[in-house]
Amino acid sequence: MDIVDQLGAVREGKMSRRAFARSLLASGVAIATLPAGARRAMAAPEDQGTYFTWGGYDIPELFGPYMANNNGEMPNFAVFGGSEEALTKMRGGFVVDVSHPCNQAMPRWVATGLFQPIDPSRLGNWPDVIPALVDLEGNDAEGGSIWMAPFDWGQTSITYRTDLVDLEGKEESWDILWDPKYSGKLGSLGSGADAWWVGAIKAGVDFKDIDTPEAFEKIAAVMREQRPLMRTYTDDNTTLEQALSSGEMVASMTWASSAVQLQAEGVPVKFAKPKEGALTWVCGLMIHKDAPKVDKAYEIIDSLLSVETGHFMINDYGYGHSNIKAFDAFDAAKLDSLGLSKTPSEVLSAGHFQVPQTQEWETKMNETFEQIKAGF
Amino acid sequence: MTETSNSSTKAQRSPGRGGLSGLLHRHENLRGFLLMTPTLLVMGVGIIAPFFILVTMSLWTRQGFDFDTTLTMANYARTWNEPIYGALLSRSFWISGIATVATVILCYPMAYFVAFHVHRNKMMWIILMTLPFWTSYLLRVFAWKVILGYEGVINSGLMAVGLIEAPLEFLLYSQEAVIITLAHAWAAFAILPLYVSLEKIDKSLLEAATDLGDGPVARFMRITLPLSLPGVIAACFLIFIPTTGDYITPALLGGPDGAMIGNFIQLQFGPVNNWPMGATLSMVLMMWISLIALVFLFITRLAREKIA
């Protein structure tokens, strides 16, 4: 097919229908594949910082102050499903400005040498950060700086349908997620960083002893017991929320945000306070050693620590926030209904607070858990 | 295609010219290699080099976050000794085998119809049949999630008609869901080769068969099917090989029992953080696929000789 010939044929009115259809096809293919070849403009301009975070944290509501400073632009986002996956990706050479690990992973993240200490004097909201959340195991760097700026804290527990799960007068318990009555109607977060620890609570393993062969066996046993009952394991909150709202699942291990958001939509769910205790954690922000835009990194962190963001986190996601002033807008009853408190330690120590583990443990745990999920 | 003929006619017109064009004119092989250079470069940089990296890495072992670079077969021994790898591999072959057979059987009549019974606007028909494949693979997989879901199109449809009381749960998060989705998502790769091989069949052969007393069924078995076998084989390969290692479909629709080897390879490079093991699994998968492909080729050759 020669283009000049074709143009000539069109001009002379000699183009056959078949040839015309063929050129239509060719132009269609060309147009469809054009975006793949051409360099596309990025969704957010290249002069914004990059924030590597969990799904659900990539929304404008958390970045009011940042957007005010940057002509309404949000940071660039990269999303991960589990913090171990995120660490592997960054070890593989993925450079971001800010990332979002939790206290349990933080010492291992620091040990990789991929991060730089945070200079609190560059954060306007730092004086309002609750000191107890900064003072975490492993969170001290040289020169009085710290590695992780705490941002959110809260619980991992069970979100269940109050109309479809019958407690039969018993207390709420992790047993719901192991109840054969609900086989095929239970869900779970897919990342071992939540699920394995819940398994430890269910198996009655103290978190202090979680790194022992006996603990491993006990937890693996309860996870294997649970696996046939599971509809699916996923790292995607939306999948769990949709399944709970349609009744496809009657109960699932989730973070607080799933329950709060479903309640806001009028779905009859409850975020359980299991008698064995919920799983509790503190997550925060770390800056990459080679962060290309360190200034933007501090802007992202400061925005996340702001009172405005805190209101959204508490009210709409049901998470604790690290800015003490963010709690002033809520009365004790509201906080209590969300399972939160102005003094984080009350909530964190009431549940089982995750403790940092070695890299060997983490790898072995993930390996075992993935095998169990696959049915072995 | 046009380029080849253009350059060769030009060379013929000026046989006496020296320099590069003369050289190219004298050496047909050189001409061929020159035309293939871009492809060869892409192959070398994009396929062969990574392949050797993969082979080397599969012989390493993990040590914490780093690699122990002494060459060892330990990973291969693990894939052989631990039942999980064999089970995942055979499940992957099972799922993609069924998907391949289903796709080819479903697409054959479509291609047959266009090749033999459509006489005008054939290209239009082909475009129409491949139209769904102009959207992204991920979107198509997600669309199936909507169709097969608990409150999806099929379940709500069946419930509205009153055929079922409660939604069918096996539709989503199961091996069936993966098979259905793969069969649809790869249909274009079956329709096109099947159409091409059917279109090429000389219609006078069919007339001759009819004249010699073959009914429609015998004619199909003796003429059409054997002559379209190359298309069938090509379609089988085009679907079986990529779907065996498919990752996104089982990840979104498979649920706990639908996980395939591709998902496990991804895990090795992700949360499990064992790149050498991931490389080994990829190698083992490739070897098995090659083996199965060879056996398949051998069987079809036998079958063709039988028919012919």
Of B151, B256, B271, the CB nearest to A85: B271
- For residue B90 the two structure tokens come to 């055979």
Closest-CA residue of chain A to B266: A85
Contact B271 A232 (CB under 8 A): no
Same structural domain, A202 and A334 = no
Residue type, B83: P
pLDDT digits (tens, 9 = 90+) for B18-47: 677 788 778 888 888 888 888 899 989 999
How many domains does chain A divide into? 2
Domain that holds residue A131: 3-153+281-342
Query: Is the CB of A25 inside 8 Å of chain B's CB atoms?
Result: yes
Judge if A220 and A324 occupy the same domain: no
B54 vs B26, higher pLDDT: B54
Contact by Cβ (8 Å): A109, A286: yes
* pLDDT attached to residue B113: 93
Q: Residue A3, by phi and psi: left (phi above 0), alpha (psi -120 to 50) or beta?
A: alpha
Cα separations in angstroms, B131 against A29, B119, B233, B247: 11, 20, 23, 23
Q: How many CA atoms lie within 13 A of A81 on its CB side?
A: 16
**Residues A354, A104 contacting (CB under 8 angstroms):** yes
Give the mutation candidate from A2, A367, A369, A373 for the B interface (greatest B CB count, under 10 A): A367
**Which of B173, B269, B273 is the closest to A231 by Cβ?**
B173
Q: Which of A1, A21, A192 sits opposite B124 (nearest CB)?
A: A21
**Pick from A248, A359, A370: which is nearest to B65 by CB?**
A359
Q: Which of B115, B121, B264, B94 is nearest to B191 (CA)?
A: B115
CA angle B242, B243, B246 (to 5 degrees): 95
Percent residues over pLDDT 90 in chain B: 50
Decide which of A25 and B114 is more confident: B114
Q: Does residue A76 sit in the same domain as residue A132?
A: yes
Is residue B4 scored above 50 in pLDDT? no
**A17 contact residues in B (CB cutoff 8 A):** 121
- Please give the tally of structural domains in chain B: 1
Note whether A24 and A103 are same-domain residues: yes
Q: A375 and chain B: CB distance < 8 Å anywhere?
A: yes
Q: Return the pLDDT at A42.
A: 45
pLDDT reported for residue B222: 87
Query: How far apart (Å, rounded) are the C-alpha atoms in residues A359 and A367?
Result: 12
A207 with A292, same domain: the answer is no
Q: Where are the extended beta strands (E) located within chain B?
A: 61-63, 66-68
Give me the amino acid identity at A106.
M
CB nearest to B151's CB, from A192, A246, A375: A246
Question: Residue by residue, what is the 3-state secondary structure of A96-143?
Answer: CCEECCECCCHHHHHHCCCEECECHHHCCCHHHECHHHHCCCCCCCHH
Phi, psi of A254 (to 5 degrees): -145, 175
- Which residue does chain B place closest to A33, by CA atoms? B134
Report yes or no on A134 lying in a domain.
yes
Angle formed at CA B176 by CA B174 and CA B181, multiple of 5 degrees: 105
Model pTM score: 0.81
B210: domain range? 84-307
Q: What is the mean pLDDT of residues B85-96?
A: 93
Chain A hits for B277, Cβ within 8 Å: none
Q: Which residue has the tokens 């900064």?
A: A134
User: Is A1 an 8 Å CB contact of chain B?
Assistant: yes
Q: Is A192 on the interface with B (CB under 8 A)?
A: yes
Q: How far, in Å, CA of A116 to CA of A291, rounded? A: 9
**Would A347 be classed as within a structural domain?**
no
Residues A46 and A83 in one domain: yes
CB A141 within 8 A of CB A117: yes
* Distance separating the N- and C-terminal Cα atoms of chain B: 33
pLDDT in single tens digits along all 376 residues of chain A: 445 455 566 566 666 666 666 666 666 666 665 555 444 444 446 789 999 999 889 999 999 999 999 988 999 999 998 888 899 899 888 999 999 999 999 999 998 999 999 999 999 999 999 999 998 888 887 777 899 999 999 999 999 999 999 988 889 999 999 999 999 999 999 988 899 999 999 999 999 999 999 999 999 999 999 999 999 999 888 899 999 999 999 999 999 999 999 999 999 999 999 999 999 999 999 999 999 999 999 999 999 999 999 999 999 999 999 999 999 999 888 888 888 888 888 888 888 999 999 888 988 999 999 999 988 8
The CATH code of the domain that includes A249 is 3.40.190.10
Q: Which residues of B touch chain A, with CB atoms under 8 Å apart?
A: 2, 62, 64-65, 83-84, 87-88, 121, 123-124, 127, 134, 149-151, 167, 169, 173, 255-257, 259, 264, 267, 269-274
B82: CB partners within 8 A, 6+ apart: none
Whether residues A221 and A367 fall in one domain: yes
> Are A78 and B260 within 8 A, CB to CB?
no
Domain membership flag for residue B144: yes
Is the CB of residue B249 less than 8 Å from the CB of residue B141?
A: yes
**A224 and A182 in one domain?**
yes
Residues A21 and A96 in one domain: yes
A135 shares its domain with A219:
no
Cβ atoms of residues A257 and A338 within 8 Å: no
Nearest Cα to A98, choosing from A308, A284, A317, A314? Answer: A284
B64 Cα to chain A: minimum distance (Å): 7
3-state helix, strand, coil in chain A (%, to 5): 50, 15, 35
Residue B161 maps to a domain: yes
A273 and A291 in one domain? no
Cα of A365 to nearest chain B Cα, Å: 9
A33 in reach of chain B (CB within 8 A): no
Strands (E), chain A: 50-54, 76-80, 98-99, 115-116, 149-161, 186-189, 230-234, 251-255, 269-271, 279-288, 320-321, 352-353
Measured on CA atoms in the order B275, B281, B287, B289, is the torsion positive or negative? Answer: negative
Q: What is the C-alpha separation between B238 and B235, in angstroms, rounded?
A: 5
ipTM of the complex: 0.79
Measured CA to CA, the distance from residue B172 to residue B235 in angstroms comes to 27
The CATH number of residue B294's host domain is: 1.10.3720.10
Q: Are residues A253 and A309 in the same domain?
A: no
In this complex, do B150 and A370 lie within 8 Å of one another by their Cβ atoms? no
Q: What angle do CA A66, A68, A73 make, to 5 degrees?
A: 70
* The predicted structure's pLDDT at residue A55: 85
Q: B196, exposed or middle or buried, with CB in 10 Å at 0-12, 13-18, 19+?
A: middle
CB A374 within 8 A of CB B271: no
What dihedral do alpha carbons A97, A102, A107, A112 form, nearest 10°?
-40
Query: What's the mean per-residue pLDDT of chain B?
Result: 87
Please, what is the Cα angle at A145 between A320 and A360, to 5 degrees?
A: 75
